[in-house]
Amino acid sequence: MINLKEILDGTEKGYAVGNFNVHNLEYVQGVVEAAEETQSPVIIAITERPLNYYGIDYLINTVKAAEKNCSVPLCLHLDHGDNLDIVFKCIEAGFSSVMYDGSHLPIEENIANTKKVVEKAAEYGIYAEAELGKLQGIEDGKESTESALTDPEEAKRFVDETGIAVLAVAVGTAHGFYDGEPKLDFERLKAIREKVEVPLVLHGGSGVPAKSVKKAIDIGISKVNVGTELKVAFNQGIKGVWEENPDEIECTAIMGAAREGIKNKVIEKIDLFRSNL
């Protein structure tokens, strides 16, 4: 596994690397099989909720086992870690990247906490992502009813004072499902891109029209997060098995279909992000 800064190196050439949120073995296998088939780098992301449910050791060793069968770059990333203790545990356990999410805090507190994460990550030779601005929706079981777009000037200050390697910005996306078509603020994104030099991240990538994703990448998005669409693909795979055979009880048949759903969705996103090597 390589770190976040390394896996995003080269994205300035006009592509983005997919950040795919996983929850269990089949998710990991589906993402890695898609990466291998397309010869694309991928970021395998885990949020606090599955970490608390399965335990760090189970999930990190699942990814390490998948890595042995993969010839393309992988990054194991903590996504939306808003608990400093869990962020630090993931760094110590061997994650190759972490994201601290202090976007719900006043900017001064967000900066202070992010600096702690950056310093801790540096001790282990990895890099940190952080977020400035708020996205509406549900992420990791936590609902936010407020949104606040990223201010370009604040973004520059935030990057300069924290030393983060990657910045997640709020430019009109949301977590979860959208009511209607999301409208991205491309002028704001351009202004942020002009102010900061670090790679930029688009969270809430599920359900964003392909043309908008491509335009965001052309402007300077280097990493696109996908979670909700994978959940739908996973569940549709299982549903398809039982629609065809309601009496099916063989776990490998049921979960195998879910894994195939994940793989196909990830391949679709890799093609959209243009990250095929």
Give per-residue pLDDT as tens, 165-184. 999 999 987 755 656 677 89
User: What DSSP character marks residue 227?
Assistant: -
pLDDT at 139 over 50: no
Which token pair is 214? 């491509």
> Which pLDDT score, from 0 to 100, does residue 181 have?
76
Token code pair at residue 134:
């708020």
**pLDDT digit string (tens) for 210-253?**
999 999 999 999 999 999 999 999 999 999 999 999 999 999 99
How far apart CA 34 and CA 163 sit, in angstroms, is 33
Res. 142: pLDDT tops 80? no
- Average pLDDT, integer, range 196-206: 93
Q: Is the pLDDT of residue 205 over 90?
A: no
What CA–CA distance (Å, rounded) separates 74 from 96? 9
Distance between start and end Cα atoms, the chain: 17
Position 144 pLDDT exceeds 60: no
Mean predicted lDDT score pLDDT of the chain? 92
Sort 70 into a burial class: Cβ within 10 Å, 0-12 / 13-18 / 19+. middle
Distances (CA, A) of 11 to 36, 136, 195: 19, 27, 18
Contact 90, 112 (CB under 8 A): no
The pLDDT of residue 176: 59
Supply 93's token pair.
Answer: 């356990």
The pLDDT tens digits of the residues spanning 107-121 come to 999 999 999 999 999
CB 103 within 8 A of CB 132: yes
Q: Is 185 a known active-site residue? A: no
Residue 135 pLDDT > 90? no
Helix, strand and coil content of the chain, in percent to the nearest 5, comes to 50, 20, 30
| Per-residue CA distances from 254 to 152, 239, 247, 260 (Å) | 47, 9, 11, 10
Q: Express each pLDDT in 10-20 by its tens digit.
A: 999 999 999 99
DSSP letter assigned to residue 134: B
Q: Is the dihedral of CA 143, 165, 107, 153 positive or negative?
A: negative
Kindly report the pTM of this predicted structure: 0.92
Query: Which residue of the set 9, 79, 85, 271 is catalytic?
Result: 79
Residue 41 has pLDDT above 60, yes or no: yes
Question: 82-98, pLDDT tens digit by residue?
Answer: 999 999 999 999 999 99
- Residues whose CB falls within 8 Å of the CB of residue 232, separated by 6 or more in sequence, listed in order: none
